[in-house]
Amino acid sequence: KALISVQRTPHQQAAQSTLMRAFLVLAALATSSALKVADPATKVATKVPAAKLPSSAASALALRGGGVVSGSVWLKSFSAFMGMYAVGFVLAPAMVIEQNFDTPYDKYHLFISRLSGIAFLTLIYTFSTMETAAAVPIALTMACLTAVFGPIYAELKLETKPAHKMAFLMAPLIVSGFLAL
């Protein structure tokens, strides 16, 4: 199968290069707030474990603010994982399609891939500006729905390449997300 090649003039290539640099700067600024690490000593324990735990385990969980996995750490991991895909969709959609699917792409695939990448990056930025307790359940729901309608659907219904199996690294992310609730 031949891939559709899009020919660009030097002016278009320069404009695309400038656009990519501007986007990288924007993406770096948007994700920089996700790198802030909260001081665990300043957190107030407000979440009570649902299951009856030994007092030492309950005290340890209360000290860290709840869940087995820290919500803020999980949210940063989620942001990094999904952010890498999103940046790929925006900056190199052709490469993402070539690596994952055994099908040619066209300008419409490139268009919708970039748009999806921008939407994902916007959501990731939004999660980084929200309270962690509110952002984690929404991000976890997004991860679950993305897994079902993304990699799982693709593996069952589309012609994928072996590299597409890397998307199943979402499974540990989802499991740890439930532990962060």
| Digit-coded pLDDT (tens) for 45-100 | 445 445 565 676 666 656 655 568 999 999 999 999 999 999 999 999 999 999 99
Token pair 């690490």 is at which residue? Answer: 37
**Cβ distance 106 to 93 under 8 Å?**
no
Question: Of all helices (H) and strands (E), which one includes residue 28?
Answer: helix 10-32
Paired with 101 in beta bridges are 160
CA distance linking residue 68 with residue 163, whole number of Å: 32
* Total-model pTM: 0.65
What is the chain's alpha carbon radius of gyration, rounded to the nearest angstrom? 20
The mean per-residue pLDDT over the stretch 133-154 comes to 96
78 touches 176 (CB < 8 A) = no
